[in-house]
Amino acid sequence: MEQKYEQFKGQPRLPKSVVPKRYGIKLKPDLASCTFAGTVEISVDVVAETKFIVLNAADLTVSRDGVRFTSGAKVLEVLEVQLFEADEIMVVEFSDNLPLGVGVLCIAFEGTLNDKMKGFYRSTYEHNAEKKNMAVTQFEPADARRCFPCWDEPACKATFRITLEVPTELVALSNMPIVEEKRDGIIKTVHYEESPIMSTYLVAVVIGLFDYVEDHTSDGIKVRVYCQVGKENQGKFALDVAVKTLDFYKKYVALAVHCIKSSYSFAEVFFCALQYYVFLGYYLYFAEPYSLPKLDMVAIPDFAAGAMENYGLVTYRETALLYDDKHSAASNKQRVATVVAHELAHQWFGNLVTMEWWTHLWLNEGFATWVSYLATDSLFPEWKIWTQFLDEITEGLRLDGLSESHPIEALWRLIMRARLMKYLMQLAIGKVHLLSACCKAILVRNAFSCGPLIALFSFAGLGWKLSKGELFSIGEEVDSRSTTNLMSSVSRALASYIKQYSCSNAKTEDLWAVLEEESGEPVNQLMNSWTKQKGYPVVTVKVNDENLEFEQSQFLLSGSHGDGQWIVPMTLCCGSYDVRKNFLLQGTYESLDTKEFLLCSHSKGRLAETGTWVKLNVYQTGFYRVKYDDELASRLRYAIETQCLSATDRFGILDDSYALCMACQLPLASILTLMGAYKEELEYTVLSNLISISNKIARIAADAAPELLDDIKLFFINLFQYPAEKLGWDPKQGESHLDAMLRGEILTALAQFGHDVTQHEARRRFDAFLNDRHTPLLPPDTRKAAYVAVMQNVSSLNRSGYESLLRIYRETDQSQEKTRILGSLASCPDPDIVLEVLNFLLSSEVRSQDAVFGVHVGIKGRETAWRWLKENWDHISKTWGSGFLITRFVSAIVSPFSSSEKANEVEDYFASRSKPSITRTLKQSLERVHINAKWVQSIQTEKHLAEAVQELACRKY
């Protein structure tokens, strides 16, 4: 390759000498041959002297004769067109410098409708018993380049006018409404309105056979849900949620105005300001809450992620959009609602104002998730969705407790540095394409593991009490006048910010800067301590006479000591939620005099003598763990038993204790004893986490203390008897949504732990379901429990239950039912059956997007799954290696092991087979194996564990 092109290879981002302004895209897909042809006319602004135009292109065929550049009446000669596969760029060289100013770049191209669920790809479905293809786009984060040559970076915003040439019988959708449609025999040419200015990753096209349901918002915006022919009724729930959510976002403007006019402390002001930024600001500057004339939502049979927020044309997995009250569980209904609300929030936060670069994706995703819970809570307050939001926090804490975690923002800089060294060398091994000139966007996709850290945006440093929608200050109270002045300054700053960045791009620092300048508060310093370093702290608290002493250190699940330090917004209450204190822990140590608490709580004597409980991180609004000394921990157990604590705090105490136990900072006997305090727990979120922790403890106990496993399972069975008896198998008239979800989880847990009564009843109801798919004995909420119970009793000598489940799988056309079955099959304890299940996942009967649901095997199937992964790695790597789904195979199969020897074996195997798409996941999975191994060793050294387990197992609840 000539030296002149070297300047463009391996660069972090595209050159800025030529800037796109408007795209005219024409696509002609052939759904039979799975190919497409197209042309793109890009109006550009040449802002610096150059003989080259460099843009993104991947998996496309472009010839020199198919490229033309005009400036006014002048046509410039194209010397050469080069496509660089590794960098996914296209370089067009001209004989002379391009004239400065406006020009038009025209490119003809061809491509393949791939089966990788990215770029412009094909999805399959059946219509009248005939298999057909549809054409679908998925461009985030950097795959628009696989559909048309473009500046595929979020900051390179432009407008788009799209034209599609398709068979007349098909539905053809894009971001904007149809402006003209011309028919010529069996082909129609569909022209769409020009889009607002937006990034390439938000462009969308869907072509196929669909039915739809339709409604309108109060503003007259047309909303449609498209799905496979015959499934339109399953789109009605999502349609209703979408219409109400759009109207809610409009009405929320009034709430933001109310908050703006009220007097709050800085944290509350900041909270309101961010809402003001998204809602009120958009309303003031764009005159309507949703800026497009229509909103289409489409269920795609083959879809890698959950959903994608394409401007005006949101695409979903079927399981995330369709709801059937006869076959969908309550958990499916909740998922549809939250996912729809999340994607619609992106129509503002992400689509209208877009992050300048993927570095700031955390802010984009974080706020969309937070707002989706806000909308869902408004539509379904009985779901207590804010309490369930704790699950998002927990996932973030568990990921960020790894040494192989990463700072939300610095990840991208790390990738860019690694790209020049280790990852660049691995290109030759893995043949992994760079998804962007910045870094391999395969790693960009891995950065979506930042998703669980959305909790940080909502909680860290802000001290918001979300459980009841109330707010409280993180610092000292300020008078009304200063608060009002502060609010006024924040409002001015945000108005300026929105005016500057609307229909444009912004960085995290841009928001912090304007807020800090106008408010005079250290917003940047506080938030940087959370976004620019990885991890989070554990705050250790102990009683010393009349003082509470606090110490922060970085929390790592490995038990190692990190050197991170944070500005931690501390909240605590003492004996009552009315007796509270809020302060900032800015150093390593802090001491707090408790005399004022004792006075307020009417307690007599010193704190050390009163027995009063103390709870830190009130309502779990902070992104940190808490470790209590033995005395304080004992008081909290009593507070749980006597129902003195909120559900969020009961959740937090349990989750922190479990994490500390895994990190070998608390003995297993301690967490088991704590779990016994939840014997009368009925709150869904708390019990759901209790079930999850029980399953994980049972797995680690199988390796650490197999002789105690039966007693540990008996303890868990006894622990869950109370809620199980309250709920029963049959839904009750008028019962809550949360009870419906909890019933399924409780019964599934009892089946997994080998509860004879549950397993027997499950098989009885399953047999009835086999004979009559409409029997009320097995509604959707309890089917997984029955399926798991059936598989617990399947073996090579007794295959009937397995064969029956496969029959149900093959007969149903419900995606949610299929994934429910896949998630149950691998729970079988027989390794031979597990191997059959794993091989079934690779068959044509399982969509590639769904295979990952069946790889979570039980403890007895670990070795079988590992051998299977090695034997099929080439196929798995080829099929899933270009997307993030391959990481699910690695994490699900590797992470459950618990010996250093197995970690070494895995590491040796992947030494010559790893690829950038799994590098981070593999490191994190191996770290989890080492954590498990250390945990096993710690459990084996506990002197009184056996006595504690036997005592707990003998308790009757």
Helix axes 900-910, 919-940, angle to 10 degrees: 170
Coil, strand or helix: which one is 95?
coil
C-alpha to C-alpha distance for 225 and 239, rounded to whole angstroms: 6
Strands 18-30 and 159-167: parallel
Strands 101-112 and 60-61: antiparallel
Strands (E) in 318-469, as ranges, are: 354-355
Q: Report yes or no: 533 and 554 within 8 Å, Cβ to Cβ.
A: no
Main-chain phi, psi angles of 581, to 5 degrees: -145, 140
C-alpha to C-alpha distance for 83 and 647, rounded to whole angstroms: 57
Q: Which DSSP symbol is given to 116?
A: S
The residue to which tokens 């027995």 are assigned: 611
Q: Report yes or no: 667 and 705 within 8 Å, Cβ to Cβ.
A: no
Q: How far is CA 87 from CA 1, 77, 90, 300, 618, in A?
A: 14, 25, 9, 30, 49
Residues ≥6 apart with Cβ < 8 Å to 730: 776
- Largest pairwise CA distance in the chain: 92
Order of strands, sheet of 568-574, starting from the edge strand that comes earlier in the sequence: 580-585, 568-574, 614-616
Q: Give CA 358 to chain center in angstroms.
A: 15
C-alpha to C-alpha distance for 785 and 228, rounded to whole angstroms: 29
Which residues have a catalytic role annotated? 343
**Residue burial 167-199, b: 16+ Cβ < 10 Å; e: rest:** beebbbbbbbeeeeeeeeeeebbbbbbbbbbbb
Q: Which DSSP symbol is given to 201?
A: G
C-alpha to C-alpha distance for 921 and 455, rounded to whole angstroms: 21
The residue to which tokens 């002789």 are assigned: 707
Q: Report yes or no: 237 and 323 within 8 Å, Cβ to Cβ.
A: yes
Q: Report yes or no: 548 and 614 within 8 Å, Cβ to Cβ.
A: yes
Phi-psi domain of 323 (left: phi exceeds 0; alpha: psi -120 through 50; beta: other): beta
Strands 78-84 and 89-94: antiparallel
Residue 141: cis peptide before it, omega within 30 degrees of 0: yes
Which residues are annotated as part of the binding site for Zn(2+)? 342, 346, 365
Tokens of 491: 């409002």
**Residue burial 914-938, b: 16+ Cβ < 10 Å; e: rest:** bbbbbbbbbebbbbbbbbbbbbbeb
CB atoms within 10 A of CB 33: 10
C-alpha to C-alpha distance for 111 and 122, rounded to whole angstroms: 12
